[in-house]
């Protein structure tokens, strides 16, 4: 056997009207729909064979952060698989606090783009294995990039964005992936603004470009609509892990369905 | 006999275990896992606590040099645990520290850092061209009998590491795992009371809890 491909449910944690943690999931670009209690969802997915969890604090507020740490503590005490936690992490103290609550890894997006030394500091203090650098990539078809990929006959590069895609940075994703790796990132978490919420598959050219550029493991994210999308990103882009949210949260496919589909096609998974 | 899943809380405490706190890493998950597996856990760097415990766990994430340096003040006490025949269980970096040395400690032209040398051998880095760290779920192939591995042959465990153990004595490998090359994922000394896992049992779901349970049972027999 070999190292298996990881199937990771993503749990976006927000606060409900009473200030309690709640998972909300976007439905076809429309309103977020209440999906459940994060701790209960984690326990259920663990039973179903999730290989790991990503928890994202989507409140980006001090209050949300406190709540998130509490959720992480409660999950870590009951679920014995790896937990990655992201959202608003900007300092080594944030990293420390999150790891202490029971996270195994922290996912950092803006905090690292704005101050790349944070990657070195985090890796030095806590080890590369717990520093996940997350990118929110956007396709650009102009002349301003550094690393180009052909998409439908057009030359495309990928730009790192901030604030969930609302703000560009001009930084080339491939360039940044290389830099993050050399600064000590232990894993790369690749989101696509173009694919997010579409359910028509991962951004395979993007994931391929990142996987080809680095030696660290890569988590593909955004756009998963079913097992065939996972298959595509594992076999074509060589991603190490596939992340999905709504297909699991809305019971369109179970983790078991996805793994069975992959196993039948000789993609190694933990059954 | 009840057929209780190891993931359910145990009915009784079977053994007392010390998790060595030498200032590295998060001890929360390993503590909860050991409790789930039926042990009472004390987190401590006090050598007296080691003496009284049924077993000692040396956890750890991070770098070899830092780990060894942080544990320097309790080095002799850990060696004494092994010498007395108490179970000593190294996890991840804690397992690598059981060996003699590591390529990781040789960076920046410094002299090699001396590990505990309880399982003679060296930790070496995965070759260029492989994805490093080796991160994720991989299979355990049990190579020989040891109470730690009861019921886990062919199961998956969660790994995160860039270096792997190469014991001088091939027989020190209790289990191996395939990552382009076959490396020892569980090692043990000749006497059998000192052992370690390269993977994180506290992050390896039911399989990991089974290993922690096996460890607690080893401790209970002492």
Task: List chain A residues with CB under 8 Å of B156.
Answer: 4, 270
Tell me the two tokens of residue A222. 């955004």
CA distance B115 to chain A (A): 19
Mutate to test the interface with B, among A215, A238, A270 (most CBs of B within 10 A): A270
Task: List chain A residues with CB under 8 Å of B162.
Answer: 128
List pLDDT tens digits, range B24-50. Answer: 667 888 999 999 999 999 999 999 999
- Cβ separation B178–A1 shorter than 8 A: yes
**CB count, 10 Å around CB of B148?**
25
Which secondary structure element, helix H or strand E, spans residue B215, and what is its range? helix B205-221
pLDDT band at B127 (very low <50, low <70, confident <90, very high): confident
List pLDDT tens digits, range B61-108. Answer: 777 888 888 899 999 999 999 999 999 999 999 999 999 999 886 655
Max CA pair span of chain B: 58
Kindly tell me if the per-residue pLDDT of B185 is higher than 90: yes
ipTM of the complex, rounded to two decimals: 0.91
Nearest CA in chain B to A186: B133
- Cβ separation B61–A51 shorter than 8 A: no
Task: List chain B residues with CB under 8 Å of A76.
Answer: 28-29, 32
Sign of CA dihedral B60, B63, B67, B70: negative
Task: List chain B residues with CB under 8 Å of A102.
Answer: 26, 28-29
- B200 as an active site residue: the answer is yes
Domain B3-221 CATH assignment equals 1.10.10.10: no
Distance CA B19, CA B60 (A): 10
Active-site position among A37, A136, A172, A196: A136
Identify which of A100, A101, A104 has the shortest CB distance to residue B203: A104
Most confident of B53-62, B64-73, B169-178: B169-178
- A240 as an active site residue: the answer is no
Q: Does any CB of chain B come closer than 8 Å to the CB of residue A212?
A: no
β-strand partners of B164: B124
Residues 6+ apart with CB under 8 A from B21: B27, B43, B44, B45
Max CA pair span of chain A: 51
pLDDT band at B4 (very low <50, low <70, confident <90, very high): very low
Q: Does any CB of chain B come closer than 8 Å to the CB of residue A187?
A: yes
Residue B3's pLDDT is 41
Nearest-CA neighbor of A133 among A86, A89, A55, A189?
A189
pLDDT band at B11 (very low <50, low <70, confident <90, very high): low
DSSP assignment of B19-82 equals EE-SS-S--HHHHHHHHHTTEEEEEE--HHHHHHSSEEEE---S-HHHHHHHTGGGHHHHHHHH
- Buried/exposed A139-174: b ≥16 CB within 10 Å, e otherwise: bbeeeebebbbeeeeeebbbbbbeeebeeebebbbb
Average pLDDT, chain B: 90
- Cβ separation A127–B62 shorter than 8 A: yes
List pLDDT tens digits, range A153-206. Answer: 999 999 999 987 889 999 999 999 999 999 999 999 999 999 998 999 999 999
Identify which of B33, B137, B160 has the shortest CB distance to residue A80: B33
Nearest CA in chain B to A3: B138
Q: Is the bond preceding residue B133 a cis peptide, omega within 30 degrees?
A: yes
Low-confidence ranges of chain A (pLDDT < 50): none
3-state secondary structure chain A: CCCCCEEEEEEEEEECCCCCEEEEEECCCCCEEEEECHHHHHHHHHHHCCCCEEEEECCCCHHHHHHHHHHHHHHHCCCCCCEEEECCCCCHHHHHHHHHCCCCEEEECHHHHHCCHHHHHHHHHHCHHHEEEEEEEEEECCCCCCCCEEECCEEEEEEEEEHHHCEEEEEEHHHHHHHHHHHCCCEEEEEECCCCCCCCCCCHHHHHHHHHHCCCCEEECCCCCCHHHHHHHHHCCCCCEEEECHHHHCCCCCHHHHHHHHHHCCCCCCC
């Amino acid at each position: 056997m070999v190292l298996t491909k990881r199937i990771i449910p993503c749990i976006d944690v927000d606060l409900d009207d009473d200030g309690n943690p709640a998972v909300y999931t976007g439905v076809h670009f429309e309103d977020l729909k209440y999906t459940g209690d994060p701790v209960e969802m984690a326990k259920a997915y663990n039973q179903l064979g999730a290989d790991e969890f990503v928890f994202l604090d989507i409140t980006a507020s001090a209050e949300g952060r406190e709540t998130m740490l509490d959720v992480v503590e409660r999950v870590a005490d009951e679920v014995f698989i790896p937990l990655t936690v992201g959202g608003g992490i900007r300092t080594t103290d944030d990293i420390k606090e999150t790891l202490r609550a029971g996270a195994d890894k922290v996912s950092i997006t803006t905090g690292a783009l704005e101050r790349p030394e944070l990657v070195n500091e985090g890796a030095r203090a806590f080890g590369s294995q717990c520093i996940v650098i997350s990118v929110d990539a956007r396709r650009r078809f102009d002349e301003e990039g550094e690393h180009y990929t052909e998409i439908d006959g057009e030359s495309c590069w990928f730009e790192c964005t901030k604030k969930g895609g609302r703000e560009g940075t001009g930084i080339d994703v491939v360039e940044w992936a290389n830099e993050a790796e050399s600064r000590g990132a232990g894993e790369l978490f690749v989101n696509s603004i173009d694919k997010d919420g579409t359910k028509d598959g991962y951004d395979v050219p993007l994931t391929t470009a990142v996987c080809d550029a680095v030696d660290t493991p890569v988590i593909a994210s955004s756009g998963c609509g079913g097992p065939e999308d996972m298959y595509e990103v594992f076999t074509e882009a060589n991603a190490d892990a596939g992340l999905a949210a709504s297909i699991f949260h809305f019971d369109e496919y179970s983790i078991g369905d996805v793994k069975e589909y992959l196993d039948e096609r000789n993609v190694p998974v933990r059954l | 006999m009840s057929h209780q899943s190891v993931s359910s809380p145990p009915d009784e405490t079977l053994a007392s275990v010390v998790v060595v706190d030498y200032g590295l890493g998060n001890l929360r998950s390993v503590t909860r896992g050991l409790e789930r597996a039926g042990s009472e856990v004390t987190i401590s760097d006090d050598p007296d606590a080691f003496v009284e415990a049924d077993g000692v766990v040396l956890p750890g994430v991070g770098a070899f040099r830092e780990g060894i340096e942080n544990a320097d003040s309790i080095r002799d006490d850990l060696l004494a645990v092994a010498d007395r025949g108490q179970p000593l269980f190294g996890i991840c970096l804690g397992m690598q520290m059981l060996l003699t040395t590591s390529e990781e400690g040789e960076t920046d032209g410094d002299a090699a850092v001396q590990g505990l040398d309880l399982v003679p051998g060296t930790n070496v880095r995965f070759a260029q061209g492989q994805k490093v760290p080796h991160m994720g779920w991989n299979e355990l192939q049990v190579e020989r009998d040891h109470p730690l591995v009861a019921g886990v042959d062919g199961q998956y465990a969660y790994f995160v590491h860039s270096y792997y153990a190469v014991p001088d004595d091939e027989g020190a490998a209790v289990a191996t795992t395939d990552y382009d090359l076959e490396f020892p994922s569980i090692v043990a000394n000749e006497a059998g009371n000192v052992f370690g896992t390269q993977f994180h049992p506290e992050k390896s779901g039911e399989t990991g809890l089974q290993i922690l349970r096996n460890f607690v049972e080893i401790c209970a027999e002492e």
